[in-house]
Structure 1
Amino acid sequence: MTRRSNCFAADEDGVTAVIEFLSAFILFLMVLTSFLSLTQINLGPNNPSLDRLDNSASEGLQRLTNDGGWFVPWQNGERDLDNATANWETQNASTLIKGDLLPGLVDETGNIVVEKIDALHNVTRQQMMRGIGLSDDNELYFSIRVIESENQSRIDHVIFADGTPRTTARNSAIASRIFALEDELVRLTVEIHDSSSYFAKVQLTEFLTRPTGGNPEWIEFYNPHSFAIDLTGWGISSTNGASTTSVLFEEGVLAGGDCGIFTGWPDLQESGNASFVWDISSTGVLGVGTQDGLGDVKGILRVTRADELSSPSTIYIISWDPSWGIGAGDSIVWNGGDTSLQTSWNISSAPTPGDI
């Protein structure tokens, strides 16, 4: 009888221990649940603006890689569907800027098309953004990078990269996919930012103020970026003595990696590899022969830019005087420094218009 009582007592002690353990465990779960609930309340719901960026990045990449894309030109302010084409890569920058564009990059087999990648240099960043459906308050950075190749030196090679730097944004979202490009694998990455203050700058690389033999004055611009740059709103002004003349461009585009020449007389202009030669003789900014637009040995040249909401602001300003030693037929060549400083310009007796 005593042994049975002891067994009952031991069983009761075991049950009590189990109950106490379960009670403590349930209490722990209740505390943990409360903590997680409080944490969720403190963190709050997902940020709607970040969700929109995520969706924009994913949908934008999908639009670029669903098919080969299309181009629809404008005619008299309307979409000219009769002349629309899926072969948008065959059009130059001057044509593409005058229409609606979705620069799709793949063929019917799902592989990236080399010609379409090359043709991205004829597309402005704004065109790409509109084509993939971005809103006006967002910005884009797009890149294509080699991630696998039999040639080890090609790995991490950047095939294309341009757009708004992420450093200008508060928030950003990224979407990427891997594709075959000939015998390599490449990663396409779309980054969407909540910044709208960035614009790409053309570079003023060379100009001539003292032409000889009746030749024209000229200015050379270069686009160092991968995307094309819309020149609408850009302008040039020259000060020669007490006179200042200026021109504001209402159209025009400079393809990525290309240079263009503005001249006082196109028929006599050497152009090298320039993608265009633009006659602005009627504006008085540039002259020909003895008709000066730019001052021979003293003057000021400004490059400006304006958008729909602002008046022109000065991007570059160059002021030269007799101390520069500019001789007849000499050009003034930018060496990469601050354009406002004389030390950033070299005098060349062998001008190279159109050759960077």
Structure 2
Amino acid sequence: MHVPDGFINAPVSAAAGVVAAAAVAVSLRGARKELDEKVAPLAGLVAAFVFAVQMLNFPVAAGTSGHLLGGALAAILVGPWTGVLCIAVVLLMQGVLFADGGLTALGVNITVMGVVTVVVAYALFRGLRLVLPRTRGGVTAAAFVAALVSVPASAAAFTLIYAVGGTTDVPIGKVLTAMLGVHVLIGIGEAVITALTVGAVLAVRPDLVHGARGLTAPLKLRVDGELVDAAPAEAEEPVAAASGSPRKVWIGGVVTALVLAGVVSFYASASPDGLEKVAADKGIDAKAEDHAAAGSPLADYGVEGVESARLSGGLAGVIGVGVTLAAGTGLFWAARRRRQPADTGARV
């Protein structure tokens, strides 16, 4: 759902840019509380993983494809504040290096694909956690539903922005119906990817999943008419049992992202994604503009000068994962370093 240049007029694009900048600034402050010794090394990995999986367009209808947005996945794995920053890093790398998503529309894309998806998904996820069983299955089910709902919510947010600042005169009701229809289908794919990923991390290191913290409640026993905590016992589904460095998870995640972006992406669907399809069908792309970075050597996820399409796309994917990993890791470690003096000062 990368919005290109020319879909939204300049004033509304600028306003969305202000909203996105404010969201990133607030998220930087909030992320300092989330980026502990376990989350900080993984946050950059989450951004790189989202970048890789976004290259894997999957078919959802005749002539239409979809791809992961990633807001729900990032928020559940590393926290909502850090999740917004993860998606912002991904969108920035895609826009600047790969000409994917307009530069003047960067604020729109961060707002729609980052802020809206994270806020909607994490709020719903936390609500579901209150009513679903406090088990790994409950967390995975909550992640599935939250991711599913976040995608049409993002589509509705784009439609609202287009209603205010769209550059073509198209009936908004038709745009909304078309956007919601196709993005509900894309949301199913988003939900499956999110649930599988969260479930996989829960299976090996549940203590690294931000959304699974406090998963198990202490068993209560009635003694002399009063409820007391039972003695700790080995749980069927221990959440905090795993400990130590997340190095193995980090290495496994990096390898997986490189394989997805460098190899599996060649087999992704070539059909236009949901927004592109709706834009073409409804005519909202009539004033779309060429990307300012169209001449980039990595534009359209290929390496300039490499004739083999498979090799060109694979190299671009590997480069994208590496750059996103480096940019994200640098940002999150910087935020982590700023957290420590503040915490120290608070204790004095």
Query: What TM-score, normalized to structure 1?
Result: 0.21
Using CA pairs under 8 Å that are at least 6 residues apart, name the structure with larger relative contact order, 1 or 2. 2
- Bigger Rg, structure 1 or 2: 1
Higher strand share: 1
Higher helix share: 2
Query: What TM-score, normalized to structure 2?
Result: 0.21
